[in-house]
Amino acid sequence: MKKFIILLGIIVGTLSSCSNYIEEESLSNVPADGTYKTAAGFQLLINTNYAWLKSIYGGNPWLFEAGTDMYAEGRTPEPAGLSQYTLLIPSSDNVADLYRPCYQLIQSVNKAIYYSSVTEQTANLNMLLGEARFLRAQAYFLLVQTYGGVPIVSENITTPVLSFTRNSAEEVYTQIISDLDFALANVGTAAYSTSGKVNKRAVNDLLAKVYLTRGYETFGKADDFSKAAAYADAAIAGQTLAIAFDQLFKPGNDLNAETIFSVQYDKASTSTSPTTLGNNQFYYFSSYLGGAETGAPLRSYNLCPTDYALGLYEKGDARWNATFMTEIVEGPETTNGVTKTVLYYPYYRSSNPASLKVRHFYEPKWFTPADKTAWMTANASRLASTFVYHPWGEYSAAHTLIKNLDCYTIPVKKFDDPDPTTPSSTGPVSTRDIIVARLGETYLVAAEAYLKAGNPGTGLERLNEVRRRAGVANATLAQFNIDYILDERGRELLGEYKRWFDLKRTGTLVARASAHNYKIKEANFVGVDGKLKILRPIPQSALDLNQNKDFPQNPGY
């Protein structure tokens, strides 16, 4: 029996939202059915599939990063359930933040598949379908990692359905791989930096991640890890990591040669509502930097780096200064004829960097007393009148228990948007792209896959390519294990919406989160049935709207 049913609320929201989006884009004002049956209209429908990614990635990142070893609560509270686990129940805040938008994307793809058989038949039709099915696979991959087995919906549903059945996680993985196999056979090969569309490299990259993740499951196949390694190498395609790390995330350089897939934004696309249509990625991973009077970007003061995250870097690692704003500077900026001292942004905007004063400096862990003296002497003329020197160990998330003043946790700068659409006083909005897949991570996926496949020598080579670009010494075979890979992923991918999935995949979530997050103890994970809360709960809103009450909740809830 087909299991193609999903809850009423999701279907109603999906149909209305998707229809409205297309009607706004339609220049002919013809009905949607007539639009989609033309080549141009069908292309609009495919574009809509891409647009749904903004709902998945552009909002709050709690389901990606909260409750891990890398980020903990600062002065501003995080959702207690997702960040601490003791209060995690199906009705907790933000539990449904991936459930609903992923199904909205899935329904949009299902609509595209339906119209592909009745629309104008063109030479690139299967290529467009391949792009759509990649996006559906991406949505299901997020769902199955987060919630476990979920309903598989593959029909274009046009009337509300009041009952749905839960598929197993194994069945969901089979569906994901089927979509990706079709995509790999049909999508194009144009460079992502020029086309901005799903290509074979992106499909190979996602297949590598899917097989790697399934390999850890009880239903994983014997060759999952070797397949993951092969697909990762196909995505790498011999390309070395040639772009300096500080250039990967330089504003304006999001579509570089190492970007494999991303959620794309531009100012024109947000002009109708600039305070809501951007994304929030730059808003997190930092302390509050002061009010609007400082001119600094608005930051949340939660999801602040832990002592563990900050301690991952060694002297000479190029990723330290490229990831963190180790000096917060101030300088004059003139707006509408008025000049005032602005905090933070002059780092990007000043035409005379040598004139900028340093307001805050965050000492790295390798500094000795002599290093501090040398730094203070060399920078004596640069120190602002209100300069603050933050010693190592006094600017992590946990330090806010002792001192929680503005700027007292180190800011993550890699997502900065120095040209925002709105002033800081109106909210956290950025039009920079959110990079979902990039070459440096693919090397680390290959490293992990080769290790798990029993070929640690080749895996170590892949990992050391990442370390080579960072400017640090090669890891040795004696060091090379899952913990080392997780440390390297932490250094390379800090803040990039990966960490919860990394810990869940490798079975290290409980141990690592409780060891490094000051808000979490191992007992926090023990659920009402004595089982551990590893998966997120199926959202209560989904269960309430489902008339099929024979739908199991995840263990622990």
pLDDT of residue 423: 67
Q: Helical H runs in 29-165?
A: 32-36, 39-51, 53-57, 62-65, 80-84, 99-116, 125-147
SS3 260: strand
CA dihedral of residues 363, 252, 500, 150 (deg, nearest 10): 170
pLDDT of residue 16: 34
Read off the pLDDT of each residue in 252-269 and give the average, rounded to a whole number: 93
- Cα distance between residue 539 and residue 384, in whole Å: 50
pLDDT of 23 above 50: no
Amino acid letter, residue 201: R
Provide the whole-model pTM.
Answer: 0.94
Percent of the chain at pLDDT exceeding 90: 85
Query: What are phi and psi for residue 19, nearest 5 degrees?
Result: -60, -45
Q: Among 189, 235, 193, which residue's Cα sits nearest to residue 212?
A: 235
Token pair 């913990």 is found at 483
- Residue 193 is encoded by which pair of tokens? 């930096």
Query: What are phi and psi for residue 386, nearest 5 degrees?
Result: -110, 30
For helices 99-116 and 8-25, give the axis angle rounded to 10 degrees: 60
pLDDT of 289 above 60: yes
Reported as a single tens digit per residue, the pLDDT across 45-91 is: 999 999 999 999 999 999 999 999 999 999 999 999 999 999 999 99
DSSP conformational letter for 412: B
In this prediction, residue 373 has a pLDDT band, given cuts at 50, 70 and 90, of very high
Reported as a single tens digit per residue, the pLDDT across 98-151 is: 999 999 999 999 999 999 999 999 999 999 999 999 999 999 999 999 999 999
pLDDT of residue 210: 99
Amino acid letter, residue 220: G
| Residues near 329 by beta carbon (within 8 Å), at least 6 away in sequence | 343, 344, 346, 347, 350, 356, 357, 358, 359
Q: Among 402, 401, 295, 413, which residue's Cα sits nearest to residue 362?
A: 413
CA atoms within 13 A on the CB side of 125: 18
DSSP states along 467-507: HHHHT-PPPPTTT-SHHHHHHHHHHHHTTSS-HHHHHHHHT
In this prediction, residue 425 has a pLDDT band, given cuts at 50, 70 and 90, of low
Reported as a single tens digit per residue, the pLDDT across 481-534 is: 999 999 999 999 999 999 999 999 999 999 999 999 999 999 999 999 999 999
500 forms bridges with which residues in the sheet?
Answer: none
Mean pLDDT is lowest, of 7-16, 51-60, 201-210, 461-470, for 7-16
| Residues near 15 by beta carbon (within 8 Å), at least 6 away in sequence | 107, 157, 158
| CB contact at 8 A, 35 and 44 | yes
- Cα distance between residue 366 and residue 165, in whole Å: 55
Residue 460, sorted as left (phi over 0), alpha (psi -120 to 50) or beta, turns out to be alpha
Sign of CA dihedral 79, 82, 86, 90: positive
- Residue 198 is encoded by which pair of tokens? 């799903």
- Cα distance between residue 8 and residue 516, in whole Å: 41
- Residue 319 is encoded by which pair of tokens? 């990723």
